[in-house]
Structure 1
Amino acid sequence: MVRSTQIISKAPAFGPVLPLLATSIGQVAGSPLAGRLVGAEGHVATFMLFASRRRAWGVVAEGEGQCR
């Protein structure tokens, strides 16, 4: 959150809004999807899928120098 003020240097008060908005959108989209997958595949398969997708994203972001 602190670093988000550097993302939009011309409007630092707006900086924290973007990460919070992205988190909210992810929660709104991910919750129903996770619920359906838990019903269809079970808890273990669903959360292994979400964890593997997150790990893959982390590897890609690290390769591009976005992770610190």
Structure 2
Amino acid sequence: MNAPTDISMKTSEVLRVELEVMKREHRDLDESIRALNDRGTADQLMLQRLKRSKLRLKDKIAVIEDRLTPDIIA
């Protein structure tokens, strides 16, 4: 059976697991970007792609964190 792709259809537990996986991928991308920069001979196209992927992940992480954080009316 296919897993639901709509965030509203997923349980909190599934979202927490996906959040941890995404955070790990985000850290890995950050390390890859840093390693390419440290080499000094970094391929600029590859760096741009990695940075875009990192930003997409950051956006997805923010959406999931917002979903998991209860709305508090102050």
TM over 0.5: no
Which category describes the TM-score, using the shorter chain as reference length?
A: 0.3 to 0.5
Please give the TM-score of this superposition, normalised by the length of structure 2.
Answer: 0.42
* Structure with higher RCO (Cα < 8 A, 6+ apart): 2
